[in-house]
Amino acid sequence: MNTLKIYDELKDALGEQAARAIARVIDDLYESELLRLREGFEKLIESHRQSLGRLDRIEQSIGELAEAQKRTEERIGELAEAQKRSEQRLEELAARVDTLAEAQRRTEQRVEELAEAQRKTEERVEELAEAQKRSEQRIEELAEAQRRTEERLEELAARVDTLAEAQRRTEQRVEELAEAQRKTEERLEELTARVDTLAEAQRRTEQRVEELAEAQKKTDQKVEELAEAQRRTEEELRKLAAAQRETRRQLGGLAHTVGYRLEDEAFKALPKLLGRDLGAKLVGRLKRDYIEIAPDRYVEINILGRAVKDSKEFVIIGEAKSQLRKRDVDGFIKRCEGLKRFLGEDQIRVLVVYQAPPQVQRYVREKGIMLYFSYDFS
């Protein structure tokens, strides 16, 4: 303020001493009010600046936390899906251990991705520190702007009335800033509550990851148990296969024994039965024999002999079966047809059995084959 000019204007009207006293009072009042205004304004600007900086950092932190939470939930969804596939494969008894190994590899990859997300979070923290540094630089710039503002105020406040009006407007602005500060603090409270909520969600996420890790551990244990059960099953199957082979061997020997006994009975009874039913007279005796159909290649014939019927010689070909089926009959006919070029065209075909269903009996007689049961030999 130019107090000298004020002194000159008042000196002529009030006198030199009064003008000097008034000028001194105005100067002191100006300096006192300006100093008080400057201090209050600096405090408000500093408080507002700090609030804005804190708000920016919190909003940025919340954005990064929300993004990290989203990635975490996506990773958890992928882990849950992998776990679901693992459980499905376990329900299907995990036919191949390689598939389970692949699922384990994907799980480990997901854990690596979670570690990568943690690393990115730490990078975000570093970025926040860098943002803090930039905020401090901005505060210095604002302080410089404030200094320039103060210089301008010193140039503009030429009159006391103008200063009073500026003071009124300043006080009104201070009230507005105080209201803005209050709203800012309310918003900070809301953001703090949201941060707490996100922290709780993060805690639940970490708990879920631990549960998934435990489930994976149980899955691995169950796979080991299944592998052990599979080894025991394979051992039992091996023993069962060996027992089955032994059973078949014994049954085969028993079948041969039964078949040979039926053939032996037929050798004794057939000459009389064929004479009675066909008028055929046996030449020589019936026997069990082999026919050579190629060099060192033979076909076994259960019942083989020769007979004369109506002055014509026939070859007797027969088989013994404990239980006769239609396919046995067809196989017998096929073998007899194949033997014609070795034994001749004229054949008496005979089947000797313990039992045969009625439909098979009809089929045998339709094919012109003589059918005898074991009880016919008594």
Whether residue 221 sits in one domain with residue 267: no
Whether residue 215 sits in one domain with residue 155: yes
Structure tokens that stand for 348 in this block: 């008496």
Distance CA 259, CA 354 (A): 10
Question: How many alpha carbons lie under 13 Å from residue 203 in its C-beta half-sphere?
Answer: 6
Distance CA 210, CA 208 (A): 5
Whether residue 226 sits in one domain with residue 178: yes
DSSP code at position 319: E
Asked whether the beta carbons of 157 and 169 are under 8 A apart, the reply is no
Number of domains the chain is built from: 2
Instruction: Specify the DSSP element, H or E, that contains 193.
Output: helix 160-278
Whether residue 48 sits in one domain with residue 164: yes
Whether residue 188 sits in one domain with residue 309: no
Q: pLDDT confidence of 77, banded at 50, 70, 90?
A: confident
Distance CA 234, CA 107 (A): 30
Residue 207 in any domain: the answer is yes
Distance linking the first and last C-alpha atoms of the chain: 154
Residue in this structure with the two tokens 């096929």, named with its chain if needed: 334
Residues in the chain, overall count: 378
Residue 237 in any domain: the answer is no
At residue 142, what is the residue type? Answer: L
Residue 248 in any domain: the answer is no
Higher pLDDT, 356 or 206: 356
Strand partners, 350: 318, 370
Using the 3D structure, point to which of 213, 231, 249 is the last residue of a domain: 231
Whether residue 269 sits in one domain with residue 219: no
Phi first, then psi: what are they for 369, rounded to 5°? -105, 135
Whether residue 226 sits in one domain with residue 291: no
**pTM more than 0.75:** no
Distance CA 177, CA 185 (A): 12
Residue 306, pLDDT above cutoff 80? yes
User: How confident is the model over 320-339, as pLDDT tens digits?
Assistant: 999 999 999 999 999 999 99
Q: What is the CATH number of the domain that holds 299?
A: 3.40.1350.10
Residue 241 in any domain: the answer is no
At residue 24, what is the residue type? Answer: R
Residue 225, pLDDT above cutoff 50? yes
Residue 274, pLDDT above cutoff 90? yes
DSSP code at position 345: S
The neighbour count for residue 180, using CB atoms within 10 Å, is 14
Residue 242 in any domain: the answer is no
Distance from the Cα of residue 58 to its chain's centroid? 37
Residue 315 in any domain: the answer is yes
Residue 153 in any domain: the answer is yes
Whether residue 215 sits in one domain with residue 69: yes
Average pLDDT, the chain: 81
Whether residue 265 sits in one domain with residue 160: no
DSSP code at position 376: G
Residue 249 in any domain: the answer is no
Whether residue 189 sits in one domain with residue 96: yes
Cα angle, residue 25 at apex, residues 21 and 27 outer, rounded to 5°: 115
User: How confident is the model over 333-361, as pLDDT tens digits?
Assistant: 999 999 999 999 999 999 999 999 999 99
Domain residue limits at 336: 259-377
Whether residue 316 sits in one domain with residue 186: no
Distance CA 332, CA 328 (A): 6
User: How confident is the model over 98-157, as pLDDT tens digits?
Assistant: 775 686 788 578 757 755 756 774 676 477 557 567 856 775 785 686 788 578 768 866
Whether residue 215 sits in one domain with residue 264: no
